[in-house]
Amino acid sequence: MSALKKYLSLVKFSHTIFALPFAMIGFFLAVTKGGLTNIENAQMGWGISFAEIWQLIFFKFFLVLICMVTARSAAMAFNRYLDRSFDAKNPRTAIREIPQGIISPNSALRFVILNCLIFTIATYTINPICFFLSPVALFVILFYSYTKRFTALCHLVLGLGLSLAPIGAYLAVTGHFSLLPILFSFTVLFWVSGFDIIYAMQDIDFDQSNELHSIPSVLGADNALRVSELLHLLSAITVIVAGVYGQFHLIYWIGIGVFIGMLIYQHSIVKPQDLSKVNIAFMTANGIASVVFGLLVIVDLFFY
């Protein structure tokens, strides 16, 4: 296995599919609704050509992608580094790269530091507010790895970390906060927290025997699913509020139908006594929800 494949596997690069579409929503919200809506006025105000404006936009897009990939890679690698002793004892996670000796703990830690440095440099290149807030973002996404040791609310911290994607991408373009991307951030917060609870149901016995905290290990599978359903209901409400507030069009509401449909679907296939379809709910349903919804929102922004 090549070094690149090892590290892509370490950080589960394919799971980037969850937050990345929402980062793109935040980015293109900024381009279309956050101050760059009228390109002709922007040309007059900035004294630069149409082509130069779009070159700037694509450069920011590239930097946002770098920030997304490096921040998530740092967070995942740090989680694997910090949890290596627990992963080695858990039959479900013992096949991961560090317990198997495929990647050494020190190499994983160096990988974390490298990604944090690249992330910080990218934010410095974007604009001052992103640079000044970069330590806050890094603290949230790295701190998550500690939370399972002392609080069952760890799922909400994970959700908070991924929820930074829409507002962070919006800030990269505009340099200021706005309610609409914040609503999308709340959508991500509740959505991710809810499906992480479902995913954590696989480790109820292990977490309880090793004094690790999670909502399933504290409340049991039945009650954990109820909490997950509540969080996903809140996610559905916030994405609907965003649609109304942002005055979106039909294509957006089709996207909402897909997004909420996937939330309902994953709860229909995961039962407290039957966790055999957790991975389908986790990867397939949420992957479809994120990608399809993200694409339809962006289409709505540009063509309606």
Give me the mean pLDDT over the 204-227 stretch.
96
Q: Which domain holds residue 201?
A: 8-303
Give me the mean pLDDT over the 265-270 stretch.
94
Distances from the Cα of 23 to the Cα of 18, 36, 107, 173, 215, angstroms: 10, 17, 29, 12, 27
* Percentage of the chain exceeding pLDDT 70: 93
pTM for this prediction: 0.93
Domain for residue 54, yes or no?
A: yes
pLDDT at residue 42, as a whole number: 47
Return the closest-CA partner of residue 77 out of 119, 125, 39.
119
| Pairwise CA distance, residues 191 & 212, whole Å | 22
- Would the pLDDT of 40 be above 90? no
Q: Would you list the DSSP string of 180-199?
A: HHHHHHHHHHHHHHHHHHHH
Give me the mean pLDDT over the 71-83 stretch.
97
Q: Would you list the DSSP string of 158-178?
A: HHHHHHHHHHHHHHHHHSS--
pLDDT at residue 147, as a whole number: 98
- Would the pLDDT of 134 be above 90? yes
Return the closest-CA partner of residue 78 out of 104, 36, 128, 112.
112
Domain for residue 80, yes or no?
A: yes
pLDDT at residue 38, as a whole number: 42
CATH code at position 24: 1.10.357.140
DSSP 271: B
Total domains in the chain come to 1
Give the side-chain half-sphere CA count within 13 A for 79.
23
Domain for residue 2, yes or no?
A: no
pLDDT at residue 1, as a whole number: 58
- Would the pLDDT of 143 be above 90? yes
- Would the pLDDT of 44 be above 60? no
Give 84's pLDDT tier (boundaries 50, 70, 90). very high
pLDDT at residue 37, as a whole number: 45
Q: How many Cβ atoms are within 10 Å of 240's Cβ, its own excluded?
A: 16
Contact yes or no for 229/267 (Cβ under 8 A):
yes
Domain for residue 237, yes or no?
A: yes
Domain for residue 206, yes or no?
A: yes
For 104-121, the pLDDT digits (tens) are 999 999 999 999 999 999
Domain for residue 267, yes or no?
A: yes
Q: Helix or strand or coil: residue 274?
A: strand
- Average pLDDT, whole number, for the chain? 91
Domain for residue 3, yes or no?
A: no
Domain for residue 259, yes or no?
A: yes
Tell me which of 138 and 272 has the higher pLDDT: 138
Return the closest-CA partner of residue 61 out of 179, 170, 187, 164.
170
- Which runs of E-coded beta strand occur in 12-171? none
Give 251's pLDDT tier (boundaries 50, 70, 90). very high
Give 52's pLDDT tier (boundaries 50, 70, 90). low
